[in-house]
Amino acid sequence: MTRQRMMLGFGALVWVVAIGCGFAYLFNYSVEAGTPASAPERWPAASRMQAPQGAYTLVMTIHPQCPCSRASVTELNNLMVLLRHERVKGYVLVVKPADVPDGWIGTESVRAAGRIPGVDVIVDADGVESARLGAATSGQVVLYDAGGRLRFAGGITPERGHLGDSAGRQRILSLVRTGTADGQGSLVFGCDLGATICPPRPHPGTSGL
Amino acid sequence: MPVRNFDEAIIAEQDGSETRFTYDEFFKLPLVKRVNALVALKVRFFKAGKQIPSAEAMK
Amino acid sequence: MEESVSAVMRGLGQNAAGRTDVLYSEHLQARRARADRMFAVLMLVQWAFAVVLALLVSPYAWAGKTREFHPHLLAAIFMGGGIALFPVLLAVFRPGRLVTRHVIVASQMLWSALFIHLTGGRIETHFHVFGSLAFVAFYFDWGVVATGTIVVAADHLIRGLLYPESVYGIPNPEWWRFLEHAGWVVFEDVVLVWFCLSGLKEIKTIAARQAQVESLKESEEAKSAALEMVLREIQPSLAGGAH
């Protein structure tokens, strides 16, 4: 076999492997959901954020360095635009470990969050607030109604780091507009918040104190 | 003495065969036959084994 | 008996037709080999761009304070290189061949899929799909337009079956939703196929004209040669008559 044919044969094999294994790997990564939140059923009384009063409260937790946060924040922006005529108050909790410099949270996703109308950005030192809401994955969204009851806990992106409509967005819109939805959760796609949360996350079923 | 611009001429006959002529043999053919072969592009000229254009051969 | 003039001209016409086919094939082959080389360069440029993009958009994946190289960066480097290698080799060693352009076109559409992954499904990145299909028309081969379309359709179909939310953004798309996506691609395909067919006609016309010019030139040269020969032969008798 000539050297040319060997090179072409090698190239063909690499091509097939790159396509088959590569797209399978990317696909599996993009649909691999993160750990869901164990959000308390009632708004945590100890929270620094204002308790829901006559309006829905939507809180998104993000890891500032996670690339997937960018898509989550963009989708939050889209969602808040769609909800602009509804009574919804939004927060973005930016998790910051105690031992990292301030610049660690100076990322584009945090800046983008600050530009969303109707949303306040809160630096969550040591992930305390996020822990109260049971968040484990960047991009986690929780929605509490005017009475402080949990109505939704999940993500609002269709895949990891991907923009687009999602089951989460549809359910939140339905809940706020009509009070009902076909589900109260959705998959969350993002990086693990991991050791940024201190103290440890509460066990599911607690009242979130 | 005219310059010999080609060594060999090959004429494609009507029956599909080809006939080879040296320089001298070609010019011994009737003028009409030579003119028809040229105009109908039925003759090829060669010099040192390489085909050359008719115009160059007839200079 | 010498041939009549009309028979001679008919013969010349047949020769020109054969020469037209030869010139047409040469022009088309040269065009397709040029397109192969252009795509080979484009493959390498896209590979470099994919790596830069991954470095800028998603260099690391995080778990708390620890980080590791993001799967997108690894995909850009290894998968991107793998997608580019075979088309480049084919363009270098087998330019103008049918299999070369089909592999190139399939790879180009796969680049669209990879870029869409790397940019998190940005709407703007989807422009790469439609831009690439248009590039494919350089080949003047509607078959490769079909290949490109099939690759896009296969990607949609496979992901739509495995995870419809990744294609349509919602888990339960309407049954006709895929037609909406397909419709836009078909819309572009219809124009591109027409472009390919009319491009081929144009090359054929150019080849026919070139063959005709060559034939006329050859014919005129032959007539000049014949005239020169006749003049040389009758010159002595003309000179004798003048005296």
Nearest CA in chain C to A24: C159
Determine contact: C229 vs chain B, CB below 8 A: yes
Give the tens place of pLDDT for each residue, A121-177: 999 998 999 999 999 999 999 999 999 999 999 999 988 888 888 999 999 999 999
DSSP letter, residue C79: I
More confident residue, A52 or A140: A140
Distance CA C110, CA A20 (A): 11
Give the tens place of pLDDT for each residue, B1-59: 568 899 999 999 889 899 999 999 999 999 999 999 999 889 999 999 999 988 888 88
pLDDT category of residue A195 using cuts at 50, 70 and 90: very low
Which chains lie within 8 Å of chain B at 3 or more CB pairs, if any? C
Nearest CA in chain C to B58: C225
Please report, for residues A66, A100, A132, B18, the alpha-carbon distance to residue A199 in angstroms, rounded to integers and kept in the order given.
21, 17, 10, 102
Task: Extract the tokens encoding C165.
Answer: 């939310």
Question: What pLDDT is attached to residue C91?
Answer: 97
Nearest to B41 among C218, C230, C233 (CB): C218
Give the ipTM: 0.81
More confident residue, C174 or C234: C234
Question: What pLDDT is attached to residue A101?
Answer: 87
Nearest to C57 among A11, A63, A67 (CB): A67
Determine contact: A38 vs chain C, CB below 8 A: no
* Chain mean pLDDT for chain C: 85
Give the tens place of pLDDT for each residue, C168-224: 556 566 667 777 778 888 999 999 999 999 999 999 999 999 999 998 888 898 898
Residue A57 has pLDDT above 90, yes or no: yes
Question: What pLDDT is attached to residue A204?
Answer: 40
Residue C242 has pLDDT above 70, yes or no: no
Instruction: Spell out the domain ranges in chain B.
Output: 8-57
More confident residue, A196 or C122: C122
Where helices occur in chain A by DSSP H, the ranges are 3-30, 68-82, 108-114, 128-132, 167-178
Give the tens place of pLDDT for each residue, C28-64: 999 999 999 999 999 999 999 999 999 887 777 776 7
Which chains lie within 8 Å of chain A at 3 or more CB pairs, if any? C
Nearest to B39 among C15, C226, C228 (CB): C226
Give the tens place of pLDDT for each residue, C12-30: 556 677 899 999 999 999 9
**Other beta carbons less than 10 A from residue A139's beta carbon:** 32
CB C128 within 8 A of CB C114: no
CB contact (8 A) between residue A26 and residue C117 = yes
Give the tens place of pLDDT for each residue, C61-111: 776 777 777 788 889 999 999 999 999 999 999 999 999 999 999 999 999
Question: What pLDDT is attached to residue C6?
Answer: 47
Determine contact: A15 vs chain C, CB below 8 A: yes
Determine contact: C65 vs chain A, CB below 8 A: yes
* A and C in touch (3+ CB pairs within 8 angstroms): yes
More confident residue, C164 or A106: A106
Nearest CA in chain A to C56: A67
Residue C8 has pLDDT above 90, yes or no: no
Nearest to A193 among C64, C110, C113 (CB): C64
Q: Which of A6, A10, A19 to mutate to test binding with chain C, by most C CBs within 10 Å of its CB?
A: A19
